[in-house]
Each structure stands twice: as structure tokens, then as C-alpha cells.
């Protein structure tokens, strides 16, 4: 009986189209958010670990500190609401909610990734940077060619973790009227007055997504670890 | 070749180097010995400004490289350095460890020349015919730079007998092999002088011999060297001048025979009686 209701709403009333659309938004927001986060995080972490900073770098580092403090200190749902309903109207801008979501999730994950990245950069033996500098490479070149590739190898498991967190946090994106997979199942449940099966299926969907990400991260790790002895 | 004048270095309040004067001439091989914490490693690391000196001057290639305004990267390319902990790039294969920096430097120079040529061509547009400047010559294309670095790396690897390991990662090599690769990595830059920071201290006793043999071989080719070492026998054999550093000062400086058989200062006599 319950199953029949769910199947009817899912297939006959074309609920699956909404679900697939929602799945697409969820994946796009999480994936692009992570990429933006990695870019922002790498930049902030690289500035923060410069040993002797000049005035300009000190200003940049404090801006980075402030940014991390702000975005780690408030929930993502509040950030979405503030940016979409307060900040953008104040600036008189009209941006599609999907783009706002991608940017907000990117900014949010950037705050976390910057700290992950910093620990990764610190985990690389300082001799690697020294060797690069002693051979005559600049600080930036040594960083990008030698230290960052090794740091990324070290933080890959943590970065996978961050992606999983981000993927699940997208479930609140419907606050700013983006239809993600949670919202899609919510409307099926609301339409059919039948809650058990849609929400269980929703949970299974997230489990499946996270499992896929886990496998993908493991494969990537294997690929990156080929410079280690143990393989 | 290197002229150190009144060099000082302090970490916070602690003065590690206190008025070092040293001159290294072309073809000279200077060994620096001393107890741990005497400042000998710091002195060596100051020579290519891995530690920025807090006072004094270091003249290399006609410039004071202790000055912050000098482009230190340009000078470091002529100063090879070998570390105690090898510091091979872990994310690169053995061969890429050797070719990487020469290729990057070559490409950098290539792009710089191209940029300058573009600028000359632009300014030439606004000049009368007689004032036009000639374009700078571009001797090598990027492909040639890579080929040259690769050939050189092959040659160097064959020389140390590790050619068959060229595609492996440093983590699969033994300590002695790593240090030998580190030495040829420095050699691939065609340095004018090489600095060795306790090159055998992190090695198994068994592997010390192969590394010292390679250093001797390079020394016999006439390379200028500054070596910080605890191997007294090696210092005596290879060096043309031996320095004894204690508490941030050069206590004694003499040719090896005189240094080891006829030490003058009390401190050195005490040190030698303990280690020999």
C-alpha cells in the first residue's frame, strides 16, 4: 500500500524528474563548492605559512584569518540566508539562487580547506623547500612544484572527508529556493502524505553518494601514493 | 670566489656566528670541523643565504649576497648544496629530481629573453633606423633545453651507476644512493662552488665510503668546495684548508697536515685528542 503510493508519485506523477534535477544540483553545488574551496584555501594557507611576511602579506594574512573566523563561526544555513536575502538585495544585485549557493558553499568550504591545507603544507618536511631554494628556485616555484603536490597527497583523506561533509550540507540549500535532492523527496512526501518510504529512500541516496565518493578518494589516494615505498 | 667579511648570525638573543672572516679561492677545498652547536652548519647555510646573516657581508660573483636587494635565486644557481638529510624531491622520480631545476631555469631564461625581445621590437618601432637595437639571440628552444637536461641527467646517473633506477622514486633508494643522487643533482646545475652539510652523518657506516668516493672524484676534477664534516680522515685527505669553528668563531685555520699534526690553540688540541 505504502509502496504503491510512493511508486505512483515517483513514476506516474513524474516525481523522478524532480529527483534527478535535485541530484544534479546537489552534485554541482558540492563539486564546484569544493573546487572553489580548494582554490581559496590553498591561497590563504600559502600566505599564512610564509615565514617572514612583509606588510602586504601581513594584511592578506589577517584578512584570511578574519574570513576563516567568520565562515567557520556561523552555520551554512545562516550564511545562505544572509547572503541571499540580506547582502545581495542590499547591494542591489539579482543573481540566480543556484550561483549564490555554489559561491556560498565554496566560501564556506574554503575556510575549512585553508586549515586542512595549512596542516598539509606543514606536514611536508622543511628540507624539501630548502632543497628547492638552495637549487635556485623562488619561494613560489618551490611551493607549487615541490611542496604543494606532496601536501595534497598527505591531505587527500581529509579533503575527501571535507567533500563528504559538503555533499551532506547541501541538504539545507532549499532555504534559498534551490531544489536539491532533499527538497525533491520532501515534495514527494508532502504530495502523497506518505513519509516513511521517501525519506528512507532519500537517506539511501545520500549513503550511496557518500560511498561512491569514498571509493573515488581511495582510488585517487592509490594513484598519489605511487611515490611511496609501500606499493 | 667567496669572500666572507665579519659575518654575524643570531637566532633571537643567541649569537651563533660572531665575526667570521673567510675567503674561499677558486679550486680550494675548505673543510669545516667543530663540535655540535659550534655554528659550523649555520656558517655553511649562511654562504648561500639559506639562513639570512644578521650582520656582515658575503661576496660571491662580485655582489654582496647577504644584501636583501640582491636576487639570491640567481646566485644560488651557481652554488650547489648537499644536505645531511639528502632532501631529494619525494614526488619526483630520480631522473626528474636531476632535470627539474635545470629545465625550469632554462625555460625561465628562454621566456625572459623572449619578453625582452618583444620589448625591444616594440621600442624599435618608435626609433629612427640608426638607433634600432638588435634582438637578443635565442640559443635554445624549449625542446632542446629539455633534451639537454635529460642527456646530462642520463650521463650523470650512468656515472654513479644508478642509470637503471632513473624512473624510480627516492623512497626506494638506500641512503648512500640518495646522497649520490643529491650530489649529481647539484652537479647538474654546473655550480661554481659546492657546499656539503655533513654529507655522511645520516648514513649507515657501510654507505659512507661510496659517498666519500664520489665527493673525492668531484674534488679531483677541480671543483671548489666547502665541506662541513665529522670525518677527520676525509677532511685531511681532500681539503686544502681546514677550519676549526668554536662558539661562532674560527679558532684555527691551517692546511690539513699542519692542522692535524701541529694544532696551535688549546681548544683544538683538546678537540683532536677526543676525536682522533
* Beta-bridge partner residues of B176: none
- Nearest residue of B to residue A225, measured between CA atoms: B91
A73 vs A80, A88, A118, CA distance in Å? 14, 21, 19
For chain A, strand residue ranges (E) read: none
A188 to chain B nearest CA, in Å?
50
The pLDDT score that the predictor gives to residue A229 is: 54
The pLDDT score that the predictor gives to residue B201 is: 87
The pLDDT score that the predictor gives to residue A131 is: 92
The pLDDT score that the predictor gives to residue A231 is: 41
| Order of strands across the sheet that contains B224-228 | B79-82, B193-197, B224-228, B29-33, B241-246, B249-254
Per-residue pLDDT of chain A (231 residues; tens, 9 = 90+): 677 777 777 777 777 888 899 999 999 999 999 999 999 999 999 888 887 778 888 999 999 999 999 999 999 999 999 999 999 999 988 889 999 999 999 999 999 999 999 999 999 999 999 999 999 898 888 988 999 889 988 899 999 999 999 999 999 999 998 888 999 888 888 888 888 888 998 999 999 999 999 999 999 888 877 766 544
For B198-248, strand residue ranges (E) read: 224-228, 241-246
Quickly list DSSP for chain B.
Answer: -EEEEEEEEEETTEEEEEEEEEEE-TT-EEEEE--TTSSHHHHHHHHTTSS--SEEEEEETTEETTSTTS-HHHHHTTEEEE-TT----TTS-HHHHHHHHHHHHHHHHHHHHHHHHHHHHHHHTTS-GGGPPPPPP----HHHHHHHHHHHHHHHHHHTT-GGGTTS-GGGS-HHHHHHHHHHHHHTT--SEEEEESTTTTS-HHHHHHHHHHHHHHHHTT-EEEEE-S-HHHHHHH-SEEEEEETTEEEEEE-HHHHHHS--SHHHHHHHHHH-
With beta carbons less than 8 A apart as the criterion, state whether A29 and A170 touch: yes
The pLDDT score that the predictor gives to residue A94 is: 87
B168 to chain A nearest CA, in Å?
8
pTM for the predicted model, two decimal places: 0.81
Q: How far apart are CA B26 and CA B223, in angstroms?
A: 8
With beta carbons less than 8 A apart as the criterion, state whether B162 and B177 touch: yes
The count of C-alpha atoms lying within 13 angstroms of the C-alpha of A220, restricted to the half-sphere facing its C-beta, is 15
Cβ separation of B100 and A150 shorter than 8 Å?
no
- Nearest residue of B to residue A141, measured between CA atoms: B104
A118's enclosing H/E stretch is helix A97-123
Q: Which residue in A135, A141, A228 is closest to B76 by CB distance?
A: A135
> Phi and psi at residue B194, in whole multiples of 5°?
-120, 140
Q: What is the pLDDT of residues B21-38, one digit of tens each?
A: 999 999 899 999 988 888
A193 vs A14, A139, A196, A202, B50, CA distance in Å? 16, 62, 10, 16, 71
Cβ separation of A135 and B77 shorter than 8 Å?
yes
The ipTM is 0.85
Mean pLDDT, chain B, integer: 89
A91 vs A67, A76, A108, A219, CA distance in Å? 20, 21, 20, 44
Q: What is the pLDDT of residues B190-205, one digit of tens each?
A: 999 999 999 888 888 8
Q: How far apart are CA A130 and CA B197, in angstroms?
A: 13
With beta carbons less than 8 A apart as the criterion, state whether A18 and A184 touch: yes
Q: Would you say how long chain A is, in residues? A: 231
Q: Which residue in B85, B101, B169 is closest to A135 by CB distance?
A: B101
- Residue of A106, A104, A120 whose CA lies nearest to A46: A120
- Nearest residue of A to residue B81, measured between CA atoms: A134
Spell out the domain ranges in chain A: 15-182
The pLDDT score that the predictor gives to residue A3 is: 77
Q: How far apart are CA A217 and CA A214, in angstroms?
A: 5
Question: Best mutation site among A136, A152, A155 for testing chain B: the one with the most B CBs within 10 Å?
Answer: A136
B76 touches chain A (CB under 8 A): yes
A157 alpha-carbon distance from chain centroid: 14
Q: How many CB atoms lie within 10 A of CB A212?
A: 11
Chains A, B: CB pairs < 8 Å: 66
B222 vs A9, B78, B159, B194, B225, CA distance in Å? 86, 15, 17, 11, 9
Cβ separation of B90 and A128 shorter than 8 Å?
yes
With beta carbons less than 8 A apart as the criterion, state whether B241 and B255 touch: yes
Q: Which residues of B touch A139 (CB under 8 A)?
A: none
Q: What is the pLDDT of residues B223-254, one digit of tens each?
A: 999 999 888 888 888 899 999 998 888 988 98
A122 to chain B nearest CA, in Å?
15
A158 to chain B nearest CA, in Å?
19
Q: What is the pLDDT of residues B111-164, one digit of tens each?
A: 998 898 888 888 888 877 777 777 788 778 888 999 999 999 999 999 998 899
Using the Cα atoms of residue A140, residue A141, residue A142 and residue A147 in order, give the sign of their dihedral.
positive
CATH 2.30.31.10 assigned to domain A15-182? The reply is no
B39 to chain A nearest CA, in Å?
18
Amino acid at each position: 500500500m505504502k509502496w504503491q503510493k510512493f511508486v505512483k508519485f515517483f513514476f506516474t506523477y513524474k516525481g523522478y524528474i524532480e529527483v534527478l534535477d535535485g541530484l544534479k544540483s546537489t552534485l554541482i553545488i558540492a563539486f564546484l563548492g569544493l573546487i572553489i574551496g580548494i582554490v581559496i584555501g590553498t591561497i590563504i594557507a600559502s600566505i599564512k605559512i610564509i615565514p617572514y611576511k612583509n606588510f602586504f602579506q601581513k594584511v592578506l594574512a589577517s584578512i584570511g584569518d578574519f574570513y576563516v573566523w567568520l565562515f567557520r563561526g556561523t552555520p551554512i544555513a545562516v550564511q545562505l540566508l544572509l547572503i541571499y536575502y540580506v547582502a545581495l538585495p542590499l547591494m542591489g544585485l539579482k543573481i540566480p539562487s543556484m550561483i549564490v549557493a555554489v559561491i556560498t558553499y565554496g566560501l564556506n568550504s574554503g575556510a575549512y580547506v585553508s586549515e586542512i591545507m595549512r596542516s598539509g603544507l606543514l606536514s611536508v618536511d622543511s628540507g624539501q623547500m630548502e632543497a628547492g631554494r638552495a637549487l635556485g628556485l623562488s619561494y613560489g616555484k618551490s611551493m607549487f612544484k615541490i611542496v604543494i603536490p606532496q601536501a595534497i597527497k598527505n591531505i587527500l583523506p581529509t579533503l575527501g572527508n571535507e567533500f563528504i561533509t559538503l555533499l551532506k550540507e547541501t541538504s539545507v540549500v532549499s532555504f534559498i529556493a534551490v531544489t536539491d535532492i532533499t527538497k525533491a523527496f520532501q515534495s514527494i512526501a508532502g504530495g502523497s502524505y506518505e513519509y516513511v518510504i521517501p525519506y528512507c529512500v532519500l537517506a539511501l541516496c545520500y549513503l550511496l553518494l557518500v560511498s561512491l565518493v569514498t571509493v573515488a578518494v581511495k582510488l585517487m589516494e592509490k594513484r598519489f601514493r605511487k611515490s611511496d615505498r609501500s606499493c | 670566489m667567496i669572500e666572507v667579511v665579519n659575518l654575524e648570525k643570531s637566532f633571537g638573543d643567541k649569537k651563533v656566528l660572531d665575526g667570521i672572516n673567510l675567503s674561499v679561492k677558486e679550486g680550494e677545498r675548505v673543510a669545516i670541523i667543530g663540535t655540535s652547536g659550534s655554528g659550523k652548519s649555520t656558517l655553511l647555510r649562511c654562504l648561500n643565504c639559506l639562513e639570512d646573516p644578521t650582520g656582515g657581508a658575503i661576496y660571491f660573483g662580485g655582489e654582496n649576497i647577504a644584501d636583501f636587494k640582491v636576487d639570491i635565486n640567481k646566485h644560488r644557481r651557481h652554488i650547489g648544496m648537499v644536505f645531511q638529510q639528502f632532501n631529494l624531491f619525494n614526488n619526483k622520480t630520480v631522473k626528474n629530481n636531476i632535470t627539474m631545476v635545470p629545465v625550469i631555469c632554462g625555460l625561465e631564461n628562454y621566456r625572459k629573453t623572449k619578453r625582452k625581445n618583444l620589448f625591444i621590437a616594440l621600442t624599435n618601432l618608435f626609433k629612427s633606423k640608426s638607433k634600432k637595437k638588435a634582438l637578443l639571440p635565442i640559443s635554445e628552444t624549449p625542446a632542446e633545453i629539455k633534451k639537454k637536461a635529460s642527456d646530462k641527467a642520463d650521463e650523470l646517473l650512468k656515472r654513479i651507476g644508478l642509470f637503471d633506477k632513473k624512473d624510480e622514486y627516492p623512497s626506494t633508494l638506500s641512503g648512500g644512493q640518495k646522497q649520490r643522487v643529491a650530489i649529481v643533482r647539484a652537479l647538474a646545475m654546473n655550480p661554481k662552488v659546492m657546499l656539503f652539510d655533513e654529507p655522511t652523518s645520516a648514513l649507515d657506516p657501510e654507505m659512507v665510503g661510496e659517498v666519500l668516493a664520489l665527493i673525492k672524484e668531484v674534488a679531483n676534477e677541480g671543483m671548489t668546495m666547502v665541506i662541513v664534516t665529522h670525518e677527520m680522515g676525509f677532511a685531511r685527505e681532500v681539503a686544502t684548508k681546514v677550519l676549526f669553528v668554536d662558539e661562532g668563531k674560527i679558532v684555527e685555520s691551517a692546511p690539513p697536515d699542519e692542522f692535524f699534526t701541529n694544532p696551535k690553540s688549546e681548544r683544538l688540541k683538546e678537540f683532536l685528542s677526543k676525536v682522533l
